[in-house]
Structure 1
Amino acid sequence: MTLFALKRAAAAALIGLTFTGLSSNAWAGIQDYEFQLVQNEIRQSGDGIIAVRLFDKRSSKVVPDAVIIAQRVDMAPDGMEMMAAPIETLPSVEPGIYRFKAQISAAGGWRLSLGAKLQGEPDTLESKLVFKAVP
């Protein structure tokens, strides 16, 4: 076997290993993850607790250890996006559940906007979740 043929065979083997070695996780994208509200109704109060679950849509398993990089809560569903409330991140009580404390001052429709970084994903997960504040 000549040196040229050996190089071609090695290159072909390397290409084959590259394609067969890729798992489904390598093809995962940020669109494979989703935040969901734990409850769609929150009590109107100065210290309303909003809990969301982050899960992988491919496996339906929760995703722990995401880093929340942005959060906002406002009344956009009722046409008052400028009416935002203070919000802060709370410690998690179980893996894959992310909690926030917000000053939900009025009953009605509210929107929670989140930005999160997930381990192994280069993109940022952005989500807008609508819930209702009840007296």
Structure 2
Amino acid sequence: MHQHTPFHDFEEFETAPSGGGRAKWVVGLVVFVLVLVAAAAVGYGLGRGTWTIPSSVSGHVPAALAGWLPHGGSDAAAPANLKDYTFELVEHQAKQGEAVLTVRLQQKPAGKPVPDAIVFARRLDMAPAGMPTMTTELEPQPATEPGLYRFKTNLTMAGDWQLSLAAKVQGETGTVQNQVALKVVP
């Protein structure tokens, strides 16, 4: 005769065949962890630029996004150092009043202009003259040639001004930041 205890239902559950449920769960967990580690490794490698997107895949990506993906081939040996990029004013002096400032973004070692960068931060102030709160608006204008970036502004006061720019260069990780001096004359 079998004695009925509060653990009777539990004993039946433990002795019932599991159908490999526990083994399936362990195998599933191991597969999940391996996939997670592999995805993290791929993301890390792509972010550092040590791995590239195959051309068979990047050929199907829209052109606006393709420039931001790492490319294979001889040009992708090593990403350029962000300090290798610089903004330079085309004219270091401007007349007071309405003006269009033109800057050139170039890669210093190669000496070549850098087209299609996204200039997302810009500021023009009189910090060199001890007046960092004296600012003026900068309105982006169409470029006249690759590697040139133009900004319309109103230079309200003669003196020393500072143009601060930040840009994303396609194919590079990080932000190019630079400040250039401008002399405004009456």
Measured in 2, the distance between the counterparts of 1:104 and 1:36 equals 18
Q: Secondary structure of the equivalent of 2:125?
A: strand
Q: Residue 83 of structure 1 aligns with which residue? A: 134
Runs of 4+ in 1 over 6 A off after TM superposition: none
Q: Residue 123 of structure 1 aligns with which residue? A: 174
Counterpart code for 2:180:
L
Measured in 2, the distance between the counterparts of 1:60 and 1:25 equals 18
Flag the structure with larger Rg. 2
Shift of 1:23: 5.7
* Alignment of structure 1 residues 11-50 onto 2, 5 Å: 25-45=77-97, 47-50=98-101
Measured in 1, the distance between the counterparts of 2:156 and 2:91 equals 18
More helix by share: 2
1:105 pairs, out of 156, 164, 176, with 156
Q: Secondary structure of the equivalent of 2:167?
A: strand
Measured in 1, the distance between the counterparts of 2:75 and 2:115 equals 21
Counterpart code for 1:104:
L
The superposition leaves residues 48-100 of structure 1 with CA deviations (integer Å, 9 ceiling, x where unpaired) of 11111111111101111010100110011100000000111111011111110
TM-score using structure 1 length: 0.80
- Taking a change above 3 Å as real, the CA distance of residues 25 and 35 of structure 1, as seen in their structure-2 partners, is farther
Shift of 1:24: 6.9
- Taking a change above 3 Å as real, the CA distance of residues 72 and 25 of structure 1, as seen in their structure-2 partners, is farther
- Count residues with an aligned counterpart: 115
Q: Residue 183 of structure 2 aligns with which residue? A: 132
Shift of 1:27: 3.8
Q: Greater RCO between the two (CA within 8 Å, min separation 6)? A: 1
CA RMSD of aligned residues (A): 1.7
TM-score using structure 2 length: 0.58
